[in-house]
Amino acid sequence: MTGITVTSRGGRGARVRVGLRQKLPLLVALVLLWMMLWGSTTALTILTGIVVALIVTQAFYLPPVELSGRFNLFWFVAFVLRVLGEMIVASFQVALLAVGPRSRHRGALIKVDLHTRSDFILTGTALAVSIVPGSVVVEVDRANSVLYVHSLSVRSPAEVEAARHHVLSLERGLLRAWGSRDEWEAVRS
Amino acid sequence: MIEAETVASILPIAAAALLVLAAALTLAAAIGLWRFPDPLSRLHAATKPQILGLTLVVIAIALSAQSAAVLLMLVPVIVFQLLTAPISAHMVGRAGYRNGDFDPGSLEVDELAADVDAATATDLPGGAWHDERGT
Amino acid sequence: MTIAAVLWVVAGVIAFAAVLLVLARLIKGPTLIDRLIASDVMLTTLILVVGAEMVISGHTRTIPLMVVLAATAVLGSIAVARFVSRAGADASADPGGDHDRG
């Protein structure tokens, strides 16, 4: 199980070995999902879950996710709560915009140059941006870590900048929880 | 302490109220889908407020069944939606933008257009599809 | 009728109005993308209705249906979006129409 080697990130990275330790988060998540689907937490469910998770990860191979090796649970929970809170507020804002009087709102496609060079942080930030209603990632430039974000309602250049800063602050929140030490230090100031 | 009987009589009403709220969010999404002027705006109105609606329905089911196991079985529903709704929104938005379905006039700022012009064209693998556009 | 039953009817009427509006957009289009978005909303509404029916009828038998729908709802959108994207890239006159640099 430890003999798999892959090339990472479009030739930029070196070849890495995928150990059981790197696969562990995925395995745990799959076992948890299995338990949830059965709606039970018995030993038998956990055991069959482990078997199924091992079969699934062997049969359907995924490129390994390169984690930074640093994880702060507190800031991660804070990040998730923040995104969920924004999602709730923005859901109602978009709903009000839909039923309210026809206002002169126009969209904007904003280019956001992220600081990170990690696929994982890039994906996480894009996901967080897209979960919050009113903004969706239309295009991604993975090589340069650039997101092109469409914002639903923009009235002034200042709001364009605000939307850009919002995306960057989401990236900052994720870096604080899960980014590598170097990248977090870089955006900390 | 609230008495068990009071709880038993309030829970169905709370669950039903959550259903009304979820239905209202769905209606708002539908109104946005109908009223917004361009496809990209409709994409915003349509897909994502419904995740909140779905979460409310899931809470309503858990309230009415009053069972932790039921809630446990419903958590994947929300997680799947949270993970997949952004993906489909992105795919649809990207397809529409590349297709030119979005009226550039509806955008206040378009910082992607300039970069698209600057970028050298690279073909997608398997690009032998023939034109079957419905428009 | 109990208070809860009244609320059920209200929710049902609102959801029905929503479905009619989505159906109108689905028929009108005008672009394939519009129809894609509308059908996506329709499917999410279906998941909501399946869930609401469980609350109203007081059972939990259709939870697996909800889970499967929630997990696979995305596939249709992605497949069509992918198809539209490729057809568009082929048909579009400008060479910069596709710039996937992954």
What pLDDT, on a 0 to 100 scale, did the predictor assign at position C13? 92
Residue A77 lies in a domain: yes
What pLDDT, on a 0 to 100 scale, did the predictor assign at position C19? 92
Name the more confident of A138 and C45.
C45
Nearest to B16 by CA among C15, A114, A35: C15
Pairing of strands A106-113, A15-17: unpaired
The verdict on A20 and A105 lying in the same domain is no
Range of the domain at A17: 5-59
Residues 6+ apart with CB under 8 A from B68: none
Range of the domain at C12: 3-90
Best residue in A141, A144, A150, A152 for a mutation probing chain C (most C CBs within 10 Å): A141
The alpha carbon torsion through A128, A132, A138, A141 (nearest 10 deg) reads -20
Nearest to C44 by CA among A32, A162, A171, B22: B22
Residue A66 lies in a domain: no
Nearest CA in chain C to A33: C67
For residues B59-82, average pLDDT = 84
Confidence of residue A103 (pLDDT cuts 50, 70, 90): low
Distance CA B70, CA C62 (A): 11
The phi, psi pair for C26, rounded to 5°, reads -60, -40
Average pLDDT score, chain A:
78
The neighbour count for residue C72, using CB atoms within 10 Å, is 12
Chain C partners within 8 Å of B31 (Cβ): 21
The verdict on A96 and A122 lying in the same domain is yes
Whether C67 contacts chain A with CB within 8 A: yes
Confidence of residue B85 (pLDDT cuts 50, 70, 90): confident
Residue A146 lies in a domain: yes
Segment A1-28, tens digit of pLDDT: 344 444 444 444 444 455 666 677 788 8
For residues B73-84, average pLDDT = 85
Residue C42 lies in a domain: yes
Segment A116-169, tens digit of pLDDT: 888 888 888 888 888 887 788 888 888 888 888 888 877 777 888 888 888 888
Residue B133 lies in a domain: no
Instruction: Give the number of domains in chain B.
Output: 1
Q: Is the pLDDT score of A173 beyond 80?
A: yes
| Edge-to-edge strand ranges of the sheet holding A106-113 | A135-141, A146-154, A106-113, B107-110
Chain C partners within 8 Å of B78 (Cβ): 70
Residue B128 lies in a domain: no
Residue B24 lies in a domain: yes
Residue C7 lies in a domain: yes
The verdict on A44 and A102 lying in the same domain is no
Distance CA B117, CA B120 (A): 8
Residue B126 lies in a domain: no
Q: What share of chain A in percent tops pLDDT 70?
A: 83
The verdict on A45 and A114 lying in the same domain is no
